[in-house]
Structure 1
Amino acid sequence: MAKLDGRPIGRRGLLGTLVAGTAAGVAGCLNGDSDDGDDHVDGETAAISYDPNIDEHPGDDPIEFESSHSCAICNMATTDYPRWQSQLAHEDGTGAVFDTPGCLFAYLVATSSDSSVAGAWATEHETTELVDATDTHFVLVTDADAADDPMEINPRVFADHDDAVAYLEEWDAEELTEDDIVGLEDVDLEIASIYRGNRL
């Protein structure tokens, strides 16, 4: 179970925390300067915001990725990357699909939607299985030269914390610690910009 300020919180509380973080990110996007139109992170605000791209998402379970789906952030076809796909549902029944978890991170901090997050899913590393991203462990790898990922580099997704820790020991491209394992509720502009700074 996730903890907030040392207190355990359930899935609903976690989603509420995600909504608050998303709202702060959106507020930053809407109020920030774009630095003469350059698409990059400037201080703590993003220059761009992104709309949901799925009109109907039930939110209880992930939807099937279709050949007509393109990523809400980079517009790449999601079905081209079955080992990286992610998606998110809003309480209002809309949602967004992504070719990679790095794009999911960007959407979390730069969505134009003011609707709460109803659910999120990401493909577990080196599988094609979608797991509940609100209860997932993301390893924040940053060495793009050592990665062979779509969109240059992406966080690694693990349903089990022990698997995330084991990956830290295998990844020898850079020195990582357990502090480099985060939950979806920890994603902020700084973390999202590791993966999609040029789109924020």
Structure 2
Amino acid sequence: MAGALPPKPGERDLCPVCGMLVSRYPHWIAVVAYRDGHAHFFDGAKDLFKYLGNLPRYAPGRSASDIASIWVTEYYGLTRIDARR
């Protein structure tokens, strides 16, 4: 997925860590996109890192090798950047 744009959350997407509506925090969205096309959205980087640190709890049946891309919001420009770079 190099060079691809991150998927966008829908109005009702919830953060899998804290349960908050992601659409309420558009400036701080983080994304984990899986190779099968599924994505999880987060209301901020902190919950993204909690998720990545405990995939068995937050994404049962998934592993780090299933992840195609990870995106975070850059603080100053408020643009999504590849978190693996």
For normalisation by structure 2, the TM-score amounts to 0.77
Say if 2:15 and 2:21, in contact at 8 Å, map to a contact too.
yes
Q: Residue 26 of structure 2 aligns with which residue? A: 82
User: Any unmatched runs of 5+ in structure 1?
Assistant: 1-11, 13-59, 136-200
SS at match of 1:83: helix
Following superposition, the deviation at residue 71 of structure 1 comes to: 0.7
Paired amino acid for 2:31: Q
Q: Residue 71 of structure 1 aligns with which residue? A: 15
- Cα distance in 2 for residues equivalent to 1:69 and 1:91: 19
Larger helix proportion, structure 1 or 2? 1
SS at match of 1:103: helix
Q: Pick from 67, 73, 80: which aligns with 1:117?
A: 67
Q: Pick from 128, 135, 157: which aligns with 2:78?
A: 128
Following superposition, the deviation at residue 131 of structure 1 comes to: 0.9
Q: Residue 27 of structure 1 aligns with which residue? A: none
Correspondence list, 1:6-21, <5 A: none
- Cα distance in 1 for residues equivalent to 2:26 and 2:13: 12
Q: CA RMSD in A?
A: 1.8
Following superposition, the deviation at residue 128 of structure 1 comes to: 2.8
Correspondence list, 1:91-102, <5 A: 91-102=35-46
- Cα distance in 1 for residues equivalent to 2:10 and 2:34: 19
Say if 2:7 and 2:39, in contact at 8 Å, map to a contact too.
no
User: Any unmatched runs of 5+ in structure 2?
Assistant: none
Runs of 4+ in 1 over 4 A off after TM superposition: none
Paired amino acid for 2:40: A
Say if 1:122 and 1:133, in contact at 8 Å, map to a contact too.
yes
Structure having greater relative contact order (Cα 8 Å, sep ≥ 6): 2
Percent identity (aligned): 30
Larger radius of gyration: 1
Q: Pick from 90, 104, 107: which aligns with 2:48?
A: 104
